[in-house]
A and B are shown apart, each in its own frame.
Chain A
Amino acid sequence: MNSVASLSPTRSTLKGVREAIPLLGGYIPVSLSFGVVATQAGFSMWEAAAISALIYAGASQFLFVGMIAVGSPLWLVVAMTLLINVRHVVYGPNLASLLPRSHHWPWLMHGLTDQVFALALTRLPQLPAPERFGWFIGASLLAWGVWIIGTMVGATAGETLTARWPLLGEVMPFALPALFLTMVAPRFTDKRWALALGCTIFSALFFTLYGWSNVAIPLAAACGAICFYMVKFKARRPNP
């Protein structure tokens, strides 16, 4: 009975919801900020919510409303938005072998953000195959729903909230690096991986520190990949 119950779609969906909760530490403050920025740029609450629901990609949404606010040509706004999101191209293929075939993927893959990808790539291999589809639905829908609601709250009361609890906006986002650290830590399996991962983390931080946060993820991953392929450690010979 228990094994059947644990494989039910509702249970696996709820499991996905529960395991995606740490992501909200990052999603809530950023979506609140987006709501504030969008209204300041002249968008209504519903328009900001529509942008969050349809584009659903943090950094590019900020760029989108920012460029619209300064009167950039629309073709350039669209081109830049897509250029920032091009990193998503490598996420899907990495999950392809972990998820079952379904005709729902064309709309479900809308939920494949940086954070959902990182969580899915870590958790899906640990789950039984029948649970994975429901798990992905739960995790991605929670993140998407909170992103939209956070935008709406930010657009209506964001400035009041951040003024009342200034520390909240600083503390909650720490859930993201903490979560990603627990995902990356098990992958430090040998010197080669440790060097490649360390190189990626520090180069991503470096690019972000110098204002290149929009391209930091693909550039840092490329640095790590170069490091992985260029540096090879020799296996230590046993003493005679």
Chain B
Amino acid sequence: MSTSLWLAVVASALGTLLMRVVPFLWMQRRLNSDTGLNNMPQWLGILGPLMIAAVLGVSIMPVNPSTTSWIATAIGLFVTLLVWWRLRSLGWPVAAGVAVFGLVQLAAYI
């Protein structure tokens, strides 16, 4: 890679890092200031869960979209939700969902 290309990598990396660090440190300082114990804006608390929901929406899209992969996705998500409903944990629902998704894909492959 040329020097200019390395500079582009470093500029992108530094910019991304600053976008992750600066708002975090700014909010931490604000929370610990004399103006209040917990003065995080309400909209920010609402945006957090919505960002997770958005990441879920983006990740639902199968790697190779087809009727089979969409059906496998729907069944896999249903099983994940079902196991979560029973256990209320993170690990087992994910394992069950991936296993069922894989089985449906495998069944269609065979």
Q: Which residues of A contact B1 (CB under 8 A)?
A: 43, 47
Whole-angstrom distance between the alpha carbons of A56 and B16 in the complex? 9
Whole-angstrom distance between the alpha carbons of A43 and B9 in the complex? 12
List B20-42 residues whose CB lies under 8 Å from chain A: 20-28, 30-32, 38, 40
Q: Which residues of A contact B106 (CB under 8 A)?
A: 167
Stretch from A6-14, A95-103, A142-150 forming part of the interface with B: A95-103
Instruction: Answer yes or no: A137 CB below 8 A from chain B CBs.
Output: no
Q: Does A204 lie within 8 Å of B16, measured CB to CB?
A: no
Q: Among the listed B23, B48, B101, which residue makes an inter-chain contact with A121, where contact means beta carbons less than 8 Å apart?
A: B48
Q: Does B43 lie within 8 Å of A225, measured CB to CB?
A: yes
Instruction: Answer yes or no: A51 CB below 8 A from chain B CBs.
Output: yes
* Closest chain A residue, CB of each to CB of B64: A170
Report the minimum CB–CB distance from B86 to chain A (whole Å): 12
Instruction: Answer yes or no: A55 CB below 8 A from chain B CBs.
Output: yes
Q: Does B15 lie within 8 Å of A85, measured CB to CB?
A: yes
Report the minimum CB–CB distance from A89 to chain B (whole Å): 5
Whole-angstrom distance between the alpha carbons of A112 and B51 in the complex? 13
* Closest chain A residue, CB of each to CB of B4: A74
Whole-angstrom distance between the alpha carbons of A65 and B89 in the complex? 38
Stretch from A127-135, A172-180, A230-238 forming part of the interface with B: A172-180
B84-96 near A? 1/0 per residue, CB < 8 Å: 1100111101100
Indicate the size class of the contact surface on chain B.
35 or more
Whole-angstrom distance between the alpha carbons of A169 and B106 in the complex? 13
Q: Does A93 lie within 8 Å of B51, measured CB to CB?
A: no
Q: A55-B16, A68-B5, A78-B12 in contact; A177/B27 too (CB < 8 A)?
A: no
Instruction: Answer yes or no: A201 CB below 8 A from chain B CBs.
Output: yes
30 contacts across the A-B interface (CB closer than 8 A): A60-B16, A74-B7, A77-B8, A90-B47, A91-B24, A92-B20, A93-B44, A94-B47, A99-B28, A106-B21, A109-B17, A118-B55, A122-B52, A174-B97, A178-B77, A178-B97, A178-B98, A180-B59, A181-B84, A193-B49, A197-B50, A200-B53, A201-B56, A204-B57, A205-B57, A208-B61, A220-B57, A221-B54, A224-B50, A225-B46
Point out residues on B near A: beta carbons under 8 Å: 1, 4-5, 7-13, 15-17, 19-28, 30-32, 38, 40, 43-64, 69, 72-73, 76-77, 80-81, 84-85, 88-91, 93-94, 97-98, 101-102, 105-106, 109
